[in-house]
Structure 1
Amino acid sequence: MIFTISDVIQLFSFLVALFIGIVSIKISIKTMSQNSKMIEESTRPILIIYSEYVDAYNLNLVVKNIGKSCGTIKSFQSNYDFLNSDSYAFDGGDHILDFITLTLPPEAEIKCMLCADTINRPVEFDIVYTSNINTYTDHVSINLKAGMNIPTLHT
């Protein structure tokens, strides 16, 4: 079988078009994957943990969702025994355990009042929470009493 110059050019054009098509498909798949990750990152829940001053004796442990979608708390643990150190401002059990299974919509927060004088060191928290798609794990070390002695004007 003898190929003419026209046949060779057509075969070469076909192979180049096939190569370009395959590369284009791979680029499209990679772009869609990156876009999916960016969308997830921009719409995910982001749960933060901090404390806020209530008065000279009490502070609130706050968990707030600053993300763009609902986050459901699956696990909330600390290295501090709030129950046995009489750190809860109200009796009735280990109130931090009540955080588990709560779903926080965007900008929502849950608070637990604690007795400031019973907390004598920084506390480490491990929180696991989910969105509709992924599970997130965060580790936070926080001095819950930081800033309590800063003078402020309350109206």
Structure 2
Amino acid sequence: MLASDIIEIIGIIASTTVSIVAIVISLITLKQNNKMIEESTRPVISIYSRYFDGKLYIITKNFGSTSCIIDYINSDMNLTKEESQAMQGNPFERASGATIPPNGQLICELIPYRLKTRKFNFEVKYHSSANTYTDSFFLDCDASNPFPDMHTSVNGADKSLEKISRTMEDILKIKL
């Protein structure tokens, strides 16, 4: 073998090695880009609570940029009719199959002062066209909403009684 043959073989090996490394780097970059695109366009479901006008609302909202379909929402919530006005058991069981668009929400209205507990655990499974996601949440409705609502001043006995009623509901909701 001549020195020129050895140099050619070394050149071929070096060229092949550089090509393989470039292909591997391209594949890794492509996977990272796909993951970043998926994270930026996926649905993101969150469950939180809000008090408004003497009622407690538990809200399931899609903060993502694509729609999703709810597979299930499991919860340790077991309501009586007195606690929710009309629903019994776990109201989130009926959410299976619901489609939530971006910024869309499902709302569960409760009567806060009638609840035995305002602490709930949730497990949500949902999917988009490409992937399935599962998230768990612990919701402490009192910690999320610790302050009474402000009510404007009113004129008249009926309005004053309504204002007193709303203020008392606010006090009850924070368990003073």
The TM-score with structure 1 as length reference comes to 0.86
Larger RCO: Structure 1 or Structure 2 (Cα < 8 Å, ≥ 6 residues apart)?
1
Counterpart residue number, 2:173: none
Partner of 1:104: 100
Equivalent of 1:116 in 109, 112, 118: 112
Higher-helix-fraction structure:
2
Contact 1:116-1:145 at 8 Å conserved across structures: no
1:81-124 superposed Cα distances (whole Å, 9 cap, x missing partner): 12x36422335875322221111111111111111123224110
- Aligned residue identity for 1:45: P
Q: 1:147 to 1:65 in 2, by over 3 A?
A: closer
Aligned equivalents of 1:141 and 1:60: distance in 2? 15
Question: For the structure 1 residues 52 and 38, does the alpha-carbon distance in structure 2 shift closer, same or farther, using more than 3 Å as the test?
Answer: same
Q: Report the AA paired with residue 54 of structure 1.
A: F
Matching residue's letter, 1:144: C
Tell me which of 71, 74, 87 is aligned to 1:74: 71
Give the equivalent residue in structure 1 for 2:43. Answer: 45
Superposition deviation, residue 144 in structure 1: 2.2
- Alignment pair present for 1:128 and 2:122: no
Q: Structure 1 pair 78/21, CA: closer, same or farther in 2 (3 Å)?
A: same
Residues 118 and 146 (structure 1 numbering): CA distance in 2 closer, same or farther, change over 3 Å?
A: farther
Amino acid of the structure 2 residue aligned with 1:135: T
> Is the CA contact (8 Å cut-off) linking 1:64 and 1:107 kept in structure 2?
yes
Does the 8 A contact of 1:90 with 1:113 survive in 2? no
| RMSD over aligned Cα atoms | 2.1
Mapped partners of 2:82, 2:22: distance in 1? 63
Asked whether the 8 Å contact 1:85–1:118 carries over to 2, the reply is no
Which residue of 2 is the match for residue 142 of structure 1? 139
Q: What is the TM-score normalised by the length of structure 2?
A: 0.77
Q: Is the 8 A contact 2:61 2:106 kept in 1?
A: yes
User: In structure 2, the residue corresponding to 1:87 is in which secondary structure?
Assistant: helix
- Residues 94 and 86 (structure 1), Cα distance of their counterparts in 2 relative to 1, 3 Å cut: farther
User: Identity of counterpart residues, as a percentage?
Assistant: 33
Contact 2:73–2:123 (8 Å) recurs in 1: yes
Aligned match of 1:62 = 59
Give the aligned partner of residue 14 of structure 1: 12
2:84 is paired with a residue whose SS is: coil
